[in-house]
């Protein structure tokens, strides 16, 4: 046996600490809300500006929120950085929000705040550049589409579910040639206001410094009304069971895309529901996964996603590639049968305990990545709710009441409006 | 049980270390060599299990990976697939499979506090002799190769070209039961990685109950890798709105230093927003969302290198010329000092990131140097020390020697119309017929 030991040296980034408390700032000036999350041991500061509008808020033409995101980010860089356009966009557009993240060390706080402030100012870029950025957006959308052809099927399912190509559904590829600078400017003017945004400052910063910087850079902003989420009233028709069969060369395998919607009859306490929603969706997804994938062999691959809106509306989507010898119709029947079975299924205490443990484990795993922390912060923030830190979330998970968890599982399983796309893969000629 | 343990802490500094690796060491399947590294993030631990298997076809390699994946994912005895998955999620246990022509590698990563449980779990999986046939069907399908000309993504193109280069034989596929035996046996090497962690007895736990029999697949030598031909391949599609352009090669380096230098120059050309590809193709010409460079180590002093961009089919040939110009300008050595410095920093950051978070990456670099067993003296992964010591300014004078002459590169165009000039003027041009794989043209260009 031999022991050969050598000294090791290489530069390490700081480790993530566990301490995080979300502190609402007392003076938010024009913002809808503003928070600071000091993190011990973090060597950097992240400022997330969450504009509380995304693709759901687009007015008729898909892709406008995304294009506006590009223009605002590039304009902000051009105004503040000495070498603009030398970094990739620090922003992304989701269904309900557009999030800009600027990062630096404590000495760079003023530059970070200037960059953040500039996002809310009318984009100021040469007209030719603005026009040509439409081409970049086109290439980006097509690039993502090629990498995940199933995105297209999911869109079709949502269009069928909501009977629309805008609001809770969208149509970005077909609308690529309808994007204009004017529409983006109009979207920016309407949605990019402090009162339609929240600010989350996290990392190596104190509460008092964060407050001082918000006052310094946003002290002259005034509180106005938040832009209403018109899409919240956008519901499928009662009793809808849309089934569409298509053929396409765009997909590599036969694929089933499924979307379902549930509305609670009474108003919901969305903040209180969050932890229960995560546990409930884990239990529901596990049962569906067991039935169709792990034990059932209906699916070659199976993925599920669920979303809870600020008013408690639930949206569930699933994508399934049938297992060898299983037809699309058989796959859809199996999916619906598994769902129906969940209506009478007794959920055990052990299952709830396991789901809680899985969610807690997930929050622990975030410590490996500062980026994951930021995603976590903006997740609830994107709905205009106070952001939650992983430690706070772990506590919420432990305290989520069983009754609430079971009520949400029942909602997932209910016989509610749905749409399915059965897509046959064709070989290219 | 015959273990051979060596505890080695990897050395990363500017100092140079010497070691002598035993040349042409024979594989002994009744011995498992154990090596320890200490490069991972403080709270993580990992073990890479390595089976020495000489595999000369892509199909065989994929079949082996599918089998191991089915074994990991499916039920085992009284334990259901669900119970295994929940156990791994709750304990943050991550499993990855990698394969090279000489090794099959299973890497287990978890937080230190769960690592012993993770190792017991892996031992249960490895001891399980039954592989569920439906799981195997599912994984065989999941590991099927997808042609890059179908989805037109640079990632698939990289995989297709790399596989073409590395898998050079035509040995018949082993049948399922023979294949099963190959991974039922004890691994030939185990590499642990964690800081301040005592791995004592964990190798015993890992290998408890595993068989010690000779492998079938490592008893024959495999041919060296192929070279990619020079020339142009075009998989045209007149109806496509977009075209993928790739210009590059698989490059074998004379020295590790040359490898590090080449890496920096490729980063200069196309890694991130400060690069030439981003600056010129995306921001000035507004021609592509994803212009980038590729530099992926795929063997000992061997890397996949190139530049790629997806562009509008209407003017793909203009962007093609521009990408060639970026390559030639970089090769001419008229590169900014700041850009080279940033590119060198990016390379170092990548290296450090790989050491801290990707134990399977370090295992592969180690295996390229010591495919059979650890050296008797010191492990010195020279790539690390050489990478740290490259001076960016030395690159401008040498760029024309470091980067391949452009006539030796291969260009692959997927989508768009054929450029008649290119077809007529270039004597190494291959039009890829629809539904044919790239191999068709690669073989044709190779044979001239």
For the stretch A181-216, pLDDT in tens is 999 999 999 999 999 999 999 999 999 999 999 999
Q: Is A325 near chain B, with CB under 8 Å?
A: no
Question: A368 to chain B: which residues are within 8 Å by CB?
Answer: 41, 44, 357
Q: Which residues pair with A302 in a beta bridge?
A: A320
Smallest Cβ–Cβ distance between A8 and the set B10, B134, B311 belongs to B10
Question: B90 to chain A: which residues are within 8 Å by CB?
Answer: 354, 357-358, 361
For the stretch A106-129, pLDDT in tens is 999 999 999 999 999 999 999 999
Q: Which two tokens stand for residue A176?
A: 């690529």
- In Å, what is the CA distance from B46 to each residue of B42, B88, B240, B289, B352? 12, 14, 45, 36, 16
Question: B153 to chain A: which residues are within 8 Å by CB?
Answer: 146-147
Please answer yes or no on whether A8 and B242 come within 8 Å at the CB atom. Answer: no
The answer to whether the beta carbons of residues B413 and B233 sit under 8 Å apart is: yes
Is the pLDDT at A9 greater than 70? The verdict is no
Smallest Cβ–Cβ distance between A300 and the set B91, B138, B310 belongs to B138
Given this model, what pLDDT does residue B25 score? 53
Is the pLDDT at A17 greater than 50? The verdict is no
Q: Label the pairing between strands A91-93 and B410-414.
A: unpaired
Interface with A, mutate which of B4, B5, B11, B76 (most A CBs under 10 A): B11
Question: B36 to chain A: which residues are within 8 Å by CB?
Answer: none
Nearest-CA distance A221 → chain B (Å): 33
Q: Which two tokens stand for residue A144?
A: 């993502």
Given this model, what pLDDT does residue A147 score? 84
Strand order in the sheet with A91-93: A23-24, A33-38, A197-203, A45-51, A98-104, A91-93
Nearest-CA distance B222 → chain A (Å): 32
For the stretch B18-55, pLDDT in tens is 233 333 456 777 789 999 999 999 899 999 999 999 99
Given this model, what pLDDT does residue B295 score? 98
Please answer yes or no on whether B273 and A86 come within 8 Å at the CB atom. Answer: yes
Is the pLDDT at B422 greater than 90? The verdict is no
Share of chain A above pLDDT 70, in %: 93
Interface with B, mutate which of A1, A3, A4 (most B CBs under 10 A): A4
Nearest-CA distance A255 → chain B (Å): 15
Please answer yes or no on whether B91 and A361 come within 8 Å at the CB atom. Answer: yes
Q: What is the mean pLDDT of residues B419-423?
A: 82
For the stretch A376-424, pLDDT in tens is 888 888 888 898 888 888 889 999 999 999 999 999 999 999 999 999 9
Given this model, what pLDDT does residue A83 score? 67
pLDDT band with cut points at 50, 70 and 90 for residue A91: very high
Interface with A, mutate which of B10, B31, B35, B41 (most A CBs under 10 A): B41
The answer to whether the beta carbons of residues A178 and A168 sit under 8 Å apart is: no
pLDDT band with cut points at 50, 70 and 90 for residue B12: very low
Going by C-alpha positions, the residue among A36, A34, A62 that lies closest to residue A50 is A34
Please answer yes or no on whether B356 and A297 come within 8 Å at the CB atom. Answer: no
Smallest Cβ–Cβ distance between B38 and the set A8, A88, A294 belongs to A8
Going by C-alpha positions, the residue among B174, B324, B347, B144 that lies closest to residue B259 is B347
Angle at A263 between CA A259 and CA A265, to 5 degrees: 160
For B40, which residue in chain A has the nearest alpha carbon? A12
Residue whose token pair is 């629809």? B434
Nearest-CA distance B274 → chain A (Å): 5
Q: What is the mean pLDDT of residues A98-113?
A: 94
Nearest-CA distance A148 → chain B (Å): 9
Q: Which two tokens stand for residue A266?
A: 């009474």
Please answer yes or no on whether A86 and B274 come within 8 Å at the CB atom. Answer: yes
Please answer yes or no on whether A290 and B8 come within 8 Å at the CB atom. Answer: no
Interface contacts (A, B; CB < 8 Å): 128
Is the pLDDT at A241 greater than 90? The verdict is yes
- Report how far residue B234's alpha carbon sits from residue B237's, in angstroms, rounded to the nearest whole number: 9
Q: Is A323 near chain B, with CB under 8 Å?
A: yes
Interface with B, mutate which of A14, A139, A362 (most B CBs under 10 A): A139
Is the pLDDT at B14 greater than 70? The verdict is no
Question: A324 to chain B: which residues are within 8 Å by CB?
Answer: 137, 141
Mean pLDDT for all residues in chain B: 90
Chain A 368-397, CB below 8 Å of chain B: which residues? 368
Nearest-CA distance A300 → chain B (Å): 6
Question: Which carries the bigger pLDDT value, residue A19 or residue A419?
Answer: A419
For A11, which residue in chain B has the nearest alpha carbon? B352
Question: B86 to chain A: which residues are within 8 Å by CB?
Answer: 286, 354, 358
- Report how far residue A299's alpha carbon sits from residue A291's, in angstroms, rounded to the nearest whole number: 9
Given this model, what pLDDT does residue B27 score? 73
Q: What is the mean pLDDT of residues B307-332?
A: 97
For A427, which residue in chain B has the nearest alpha carbon? B435
Global ipTM = 0.89
Given this model, what pLDDT does residue A86 score? 59
> Residue B313 has what DSSP assignment?
G
Mean pLDDT for all residues in chain A: 90
Please answer yes or no on whether B9 and A364 come within 8 Å at the CB atom. Answer: no
End-to-end CA, chain B: 53
Please answer yes or no on whether A136 and B80 come within 8 Å at the CB atom. Answer: no
Smallest Cβ–Cβ distance between A286 and the set B39, B82, B150 belongs to B82
Question: B137 to chain A: which residues are within 8 Å by CB?
Answer: 323-324
Q: What is the mean pLDDT of residues A307-318?
A: 95
Q: What is the mean pLDDT of residues B127-155?
A: 93
- Report how far residue B270's alpha carbon sits from residue B305's, in angstroms, rounded to the nearest whole number: 11
Going by C-alpha positions, the residue among A127, A141, A145 that lies closest to residue A71 is A127
Smallest Cβ–Cβ distance between B289 and the set A85, A136, A289 belongs to A136
Smallest Cβ–Cβ distance between B137 and the set A132, A143, A324 belongs to A324
Q: How many helices (H) and strands (E) does chain B have?
A: 17, 12
Is the pLDDT at A429 greater than 80? The verdict is no
């Amino acid at each position: 046996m031999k022991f050969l030991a050598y000294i090791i040296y290489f530069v390490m980034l700081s480790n993530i600490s566990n301490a995080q408390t979300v502190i609402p700032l007392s003076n938010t000036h024009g913002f809808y809300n503003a928070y600071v999350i000091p993190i011990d041991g973090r060597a950097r500061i992240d400022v997330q500006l969450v504009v509380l509008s995304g693709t759901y808020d687009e007015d008729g033409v898909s892709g406008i929120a995304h294009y506006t995101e590009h223009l605002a980010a590039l304009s902000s860089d051009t105004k503040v950085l000495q070498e603009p356009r030398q970094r990739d966009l620090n922003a992304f557009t989701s269904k309900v929000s557009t999030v800009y993240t600027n990062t630096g060390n404590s000495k760079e706080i003023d530059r970070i705040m200037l960059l953040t402030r500039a996002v809310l100012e009318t984009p100021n870029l040469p007209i030719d550049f603005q026009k040509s950025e439409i081409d970049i957006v086109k290439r980006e959308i097509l690039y993502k589409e090629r990498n995940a052809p199933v995105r297209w099927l999911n869109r079709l399912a949502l269009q069928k579910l909501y009977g629309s190509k805008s609001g809770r559904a969208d149509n970005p590829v077909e609308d690529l040639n309808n994007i204009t600078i004017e529409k983006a400017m109009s979207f920016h003017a309407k949605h990019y206001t402090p009162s339609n945004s929240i600010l989350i400052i996290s990392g190596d910063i104190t509460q008092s410094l964060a407050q001082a910087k918000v006052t310094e850079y946003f002290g002259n902003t005034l509180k106005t009304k938040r832009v209403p989420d018109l899409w919240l009233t956008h519901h499928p028709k009662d009793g809808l069971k849309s089934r569409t069969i298509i053929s396409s060369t765009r997909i590599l395998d036969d694929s089933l895309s499924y979307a379902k919607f549930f509305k609670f009859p009474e108003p919901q306490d969305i903040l209180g529901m969050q932890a229960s929603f995560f546990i409930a969706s884990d239990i529901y997804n596990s049962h569906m996964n067991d039935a169709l994938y792990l034990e059932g062999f209906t699916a070659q691959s199976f993925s599920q996603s669920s979303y809870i809106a600020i008013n408690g509306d639930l949206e569930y989507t699933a994508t399934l590639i049938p297992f060898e010898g299983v037809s699309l119709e058989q796959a859809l029947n199996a999916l619906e049968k598994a769902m129906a079975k969940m209506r009478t299924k007794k959920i055990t205490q052990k299952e709830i305990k396991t789901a809680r443990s899985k969610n807690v484990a997930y929050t622990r795993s975030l410590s490996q990545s500062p980026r994951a922390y930021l995603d976590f912060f903006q997740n609830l923030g994107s709905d205009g709710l106070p952001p939650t830190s992983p430690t706070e979330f772990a506590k919420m998970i432990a305290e989520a009441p069983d009754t609430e968890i079971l009520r949400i599982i029942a909602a997932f399983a209910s016989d509610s409006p749905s749409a399915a796309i059965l897509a046959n893969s064709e070989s290219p000629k | 049980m015959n273990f051979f343990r060596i505890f080695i802490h990897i050395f990363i500094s500017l100092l140079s270390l010497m070691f002598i690796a035993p040349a042409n060491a024979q594989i002994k399947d009744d011995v498992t060599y154990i090596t320890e590294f200490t490069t991972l993030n403080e709270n993580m631990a990992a073990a890479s299990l390595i089976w020495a298997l000489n595999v000369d076809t892509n199909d065989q390699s994929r079949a082996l990976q599918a089998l191991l994946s089915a074994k990991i994912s499916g039920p085992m005895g009284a334990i259901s697939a669900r119970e295994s998955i929940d156990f791994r999620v709750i304990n943050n246990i991550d499993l990855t499979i990698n394969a090279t022509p000489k090794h099959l590698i299973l890497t287990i990563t978890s937080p230190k506090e769960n690592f012993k449980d993770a190792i017991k779990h892996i031992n249960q999986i490895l001891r399980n002799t039954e592989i569920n046939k439906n799981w195997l069907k599912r994984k065989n399908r999941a590991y099927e190769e997808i042609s890059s000309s179908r989805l037109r993504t640079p990632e698939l193109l990289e995989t297709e070209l790399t596989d073409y280069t590395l898998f050079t034989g035509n040995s018949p596929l082993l049948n399922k039961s023979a294949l099963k035996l190959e991974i039922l046996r004890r691994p030939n090497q185990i590499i642990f990685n964690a800081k301040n962690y005592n791995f004592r007895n964990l190798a015993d736990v890992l290998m408890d109950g595993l068989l010690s029999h000779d492998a079938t697949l490592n008893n024959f030598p495999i041919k060296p890798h192929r070279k990619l031909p020079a020339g142009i391949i075009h998989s045209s599609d007149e109806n496509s709105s977009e075209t993928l352009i790739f210009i590059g090669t698989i490059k074998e380096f004379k020295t590790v230093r040359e490898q590090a230098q080449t890496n920096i120059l490729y980063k200069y050309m196309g890694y991130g927003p400060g690069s030439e590809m981003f600056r010129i193709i995306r921001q000035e010409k507004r021609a592509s969302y994803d212009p980038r460079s590729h530099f992926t180590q795929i063997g000992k002093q061997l890397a996949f290198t190139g530049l790629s961009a997806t562009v509008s089919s209407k003017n793909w040939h203009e962007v093609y010329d521009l990408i060639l110009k970026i390559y030639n300008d970089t090769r001419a050595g008229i590169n900014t000092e700041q850009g080279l410095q940033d590119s060198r920093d990016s390379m170092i950051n990548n290296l450090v990131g790989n050491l801290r978070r990707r134990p399977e990456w370090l295992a592969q670099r180690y295996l390229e140097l010591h495919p059979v067993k650890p050296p008797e003296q010191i492990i010195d992964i020279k790539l690390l020390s050489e990478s740290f010591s490259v001076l960016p300014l030395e690159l401008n004078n040498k760029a024309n020697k470091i980067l391949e002459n452009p006539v030796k590169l291969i260009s692959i165009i997927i989508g768009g119309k054929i450029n008649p000039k290119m077809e007529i003027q270039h004597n190494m041009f291959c039009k890829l017929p629809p539904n044919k794989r790239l191999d068709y043209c690669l073989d044709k260009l190779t044979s001239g």
